[in-house]
Structure 1
Amino acid sequence: MELWDIYDESRVKTGKTMERGSSFKEGEYHLVVHVCIFKSSGEMLIQQRQPFKKGWSNMWDITVGGSATTGDTSQKAAERELFEEIGYVFDFSQVRPHLTINFGVGFDDYYLIEADVEIDKLKLQYDEVQQVKWATKDEIIQMLEDGVFIPYYKNLIGLLFEMRKSYSAHSQ
Structure 2
Amino acid sequence: MERFDLYNKHLEKLNKTMVRGASNNPGEYHLVVHIWIRNSDRQYLIQQRNKQDDLIPYQWGTHGGAVLQGETSKEAAIRETKEEIGIELDPHKLSLVKRYVIDHPHSNYITDLYLYQDNILINECKIDTVEVRDIAYKSFADIQQMISQNTFWDYEHLLQRHGYFDELEKR
The alignment's TM-score, normalised by the length of structure 2, stands at 0.88
> Unpaired runs of 5+ in structure 2?
157-161
CA distance in 1, matches of 2:143, 2:111: 20
Asked if the contact 2:2/2:19 (under 8 Å) is kept, the reply is: yes
Which residue type is aligned with residue 87 of structure 2? Y
Which residue type is aligned with residue 13 of structure 1? K
Match of 1:84 in 2: 83
Asked if the contact 1:137/1:158 (under 8 Å) is kept, the reply is: no
Q: Deviations over 1:130-155 (max 9, x none)?
A: 00000001100000111111122384
Residue 110 (str. 1) matches residue 113 (str. 2): yes
- Secondary structure at 2:155's aligned position in 1? coil
Match of 1:68 in 2: 67
Trace 1:143-158 onto structure 2 (pairs within 5 A). Answer: 143-153=146-156, 155-158=163-166
Q: CA deviation at 1:94?
A: 7.4
Match of 1:11 in 2: 11
Which residue type is aligned with residue 52 of structure 2? F
Which residue type is aligned with residue 161 of structure 1? E
Asked if the contact 1:39/1:114 (under 8 Å) is kept, the reply is: yes
Asked if the contact 2:100/2:111 (under 8 Å) is kept, the reply is: yes
CA root-mean-square deviation: 1.6
Which residue type is aligned with residue 16 of structure 2? K
Asked if the contact 2:93/2:117 (under 8 Å) is kept, the reply is: no
Residue 28 (str. 1) matches residue 31 (str. 2): no
Q: CA deviation at 1:26?
A: 1.7
How many matched pairs?
162
CA distance in 2, matches of 1:96, 1:46: 18
Q: CA deviation at 1:125?
A: 1.2
Asked if the contact 1:5/1:17 (under 8 Å) is kept, the reply is: yes
Which residue type is aligned with residue 165 of structure 2? I
Residue of structure 2 aligned with 1:129, choices 129, 132, 153 = 132
> Unpaired runs of 5+ in structure 1?
164-172
The alignment's TM-score, normalised by the length of structure 1, stands at 0.88
CA distance in 2, matches of 1:120, 1:94: 21
Match of 1:161 in 2: 169
